[in-house]
Amino acid sequence: MKLSRIVTLHNQWHYLDWLADDTLFADGNEFIFVDDCSTEPMPADLPARLAARCAILHRLPRNRGRSVARNTGTGLAHGDWVEFVDGDDRPLPLRWNEAWAGSDLVLFPATGHGPEKPEAHQIDANHFLLRDPKSPTGHRDPRPANTLWRKVALDDLGGFDPRMEPVEDLDLAWRALSRPAAYATAPKQSYNHHGASLLKGIESTAAFLKFYKKVAGERTDCGWLIEWEVRNLWHHATWHLLQRRHYGELFRKGCVLVFNVTKAKLRDLFSRRS
């Protein structure tokens, strides 16, 4: 089996209507659903629907975060490659492409999240592989969950680190890109800071600072990874300011601080690049 598609979810049963889409299962890929201890009851017909699709359902006894859920799904996978799909993302049909064989990580487009309504986003059916860190991504907003990892490469990295949530995707990409040339084809990874509340926005900012502190002071050729993340953070922070004016001053101070400190660090990183 080539591909295992791992769907992690928590109280997101109503998003699984896409199970009725035959095209998602036509290529014979394995589907693994990891329920991160949902508190809402599972629809009564869901086990039968999953069984009809020959899908695996694994329910965790307690909520330990999406990193543990994804790592659990990886352990259950039979495929040579594993893809991670968040429970609220609409996956695309996926057929193995031999052009991916030389890489350890493939990045896919996905439905977007942001100030617009989700239905306003167009699904781009063309999967793409970024081999050059400087390759433009155009209008696409990469979502970290929509990634396809070679299972042995992911296992070698130790999987997702729960301590780095909610930027565990960025941390994993950083660790991959910090390895030798075998990971040179891995694309840059962005974490979409689309917090639905001030609290989530602050949590994302704090997590980014935690990640940033981890790599601060390292001489690296992956400065573009941090720069990409800063731009994403700033874009979504600006949106929060426009939409939540009563939180504006507090949120603005936090995000301006992050942006300014990071810009200074970026200048230092790039000035030391060989």
The whole-model pTM stands at 0.63
Same domain for 144 and 40: yes
Residues 171 and 201 in one domain: no
Rounded to 10 deg, the angle between the 168-177 and 198-215 helix axes is 20
Helix (H, G, I), strand (E, B) or coil at 6: strand
**How far is it, in rounded angstroms, from Cα 111 to Cα 262?**
29
Q: At what angle do helices 198-215 and 223-243 cross, to 10 degrees?
A: 160
pLDDT per residue of the chain (274 residues) written in tens, 0 to 9? 688 999 999 998 988 888 888 888 888 899 999 999 999 999 999 999 999 999 999 999 999 888 999 999 999 999 999 988 878 766 767 777 776 777 777 655 444 443 333 333 333 333 333 222 333 443 233 344 456 788 998 998 899 988 777 667 766 766 765 665 344 333 333 333 333 333 344 445 455 555 555 554 443 433 434 444 444 444 444 434 333 333 333 333 333 333 343 444 444 434 443 3
Neighbours of 43 (CB within 10 A): 12
CATH number at residue 73: 3.90.550.10
The reply to whether 167 and 254 lie within a common domain is no
How many separate domains does the chain show?
2
Domain shared by 150 and 169, yes or no: yes
Is the same domain home to 104 and 155?
A: yes
- Domain end residue (candidates: 164, 192, 220): 192
Mark which of 192, 213, 247 sits at the end of a domain: 192
Containing domain of residue 251, as a range? 196-274
For residues 14 and 150, state if they share a domain: yes
Q: Find the length of the chain.
A: 274
In terms of domains, do 128 and 242 share one? no
- 214 and 171 assigned to the same domain: no
